[in-house]
Structure 1
Amino acid sequence: MRKLYLNEAALSAKATTVIHDEQNQSCYLLVGKWGLRADVLSVYTIAGELEAEVKQESLGLLPKFRLVYHRQVVGRVSKTFGVIREVLFVRGLNWVIMGSLASGRFRIYHGRDQVATIAVIDHSGGGTVELTVDQPDHEALIVCLAAILNRWARHQQKLPELLHNPTWVPHPAQSGSVAPTIDHRKDSD
């Protein structure tokens, strides 16, 4: 299994991200942006060959993404409503992603075989994401999945802020005042 490293802060930026191996050799470039339908993140080798892409197919609470490997669609991934929030499925590849968006730690399985792990190992300076991948053919796809999981983790962290900072807060009635009432009956005079 080979380990790859990338800067977590660079995943959210609209800039080129360099992915390094254990010897600090540059292996891949991650290029693209998120946010709009049909946006694409692409993974290139250092030599400039396109390895994989993740294309955003839909927006909303449950966005869908298409995984492309060597210009062929190999899978789709999306969030689903349900009881088990920390389990995601990559349809087409038959991979199961188990982990926690809060901690940033994931394991990816194909049946009983572990394909990869994704973990945020250094939280200082934007964080470092460590990818441990079983086969070289899977590396570019795991980089794409790490970008998707990072995006969902960031959006999940924003949700509690919205719940704790409502834009309208009801105020209690002042003492001695009478609360207004509305009579919905029609006058029959």
Structure 2
Amino acid sequence: MRQLYLNQAALSARATTVIRDADNQSRYLLVGKWGLRADVLTVYLIDGSLEAEVKQESLGLLPRFRLLYHRQPVGHVSKTFGVIREVLFVRGLNWVIMGNLNSGRFRIFHGRELIANIAPVSADGQTIALEVDQPDHEALVVCLAAILDRWAKHQQRGLNPLKNRGWAPGLSSEVTPFITQEKNLDRRY
């Protein structure tokens, strides 16, 4: 299995991300953005040839993504209600992704065969290691790692809605609650 490394901060910044191997040689480029319907992330070889794409087909709570390999559709991935959050299915490829969005560790299987491991390797969690079984699967695993990183970021943002909106009691000096009824109660007695 070959090890590939990508910078998680570059995924979040919507910048071009360079995917390197264990010898620090550049192998792939991840280019594009998403957030709107029909947005695309594309994986290129360093020589510029197109390897794989992930296209966002729908928005909302359960966005759906289409995977393309050499411009041919090979599968779909989406979150589903009623299924354990730690298990995702890649329909078309018959891959199962098992892991945890909070820790960022995932394993991808086809039946009992291990396709890839995805895990953060640096202490700050900014570098992700992809361990992939075959060179033909590498570009698709890079696409899936980008999707999983996006879902993990959205899940972490959704954990505390007051904190993420910029207001929480005691954290903001802009809004200070005051009680006028206490003063009136004191006057009565």
Regarding TM over 0.5, the answer is yes
Give the Cα separation in 1 of the matches to 2:62 and 2:99.
Answer: 18
After TM superposition, the structure 1 stretch with the greater mean CA deviation from structure 2, 20-29 or 164-173, is 164-173
Once the two structures are TM-superposed, the CA of residue 161 in structure 1 deviates from its matched residue by 2.1
Equivalence for 2:127: 128
| Post-superposition CA distance 1:92-114 (Å, at most 9, x none) | 00000000000000000000000
Q: How many residues align?
A: 176
Give the Cα separation in 2 of the matches to 1:142 and 1:171.
Answer: 54
Q: Which runs of 5+ in 1 are unaligned?
A: 178-189
Amino acid at match of 1:137: D
Equivalence for 1:71: 71
Counterpart secondary structure, 2:145 = helix
Equivalence for 1:27: 27
**Map 1:2-17 → 2, pairs under 5 A:** 2-17=2-17
CA contact (8 A) 1:13 1:33 kept: no
Once the two structures are TM-superposed, the CA of residue 172 in structure 1 deviates from its matched residue by 9.2
Counterpart secondary structure, 2:68 = strand
Equivalence for 1:80: 80
Larger Rg, first or second structure (1 or 2)? 1
TM-score by length of 1: 0.86
Equivalence for 1:100: 100
Identity among equivalent pairs (%): 72
Q: Which runs of 5+ in 2 are unaligned?
A: 170-176
Give the Cα separation in 2 of the matches to 1:141 and 1:5.
Answer: 14
Amino acid at match of 1:10: A
**Map 1:25-174 → 2, pairs under 5 A:** 25-124=25-124, 127-162=126-161, 174=181
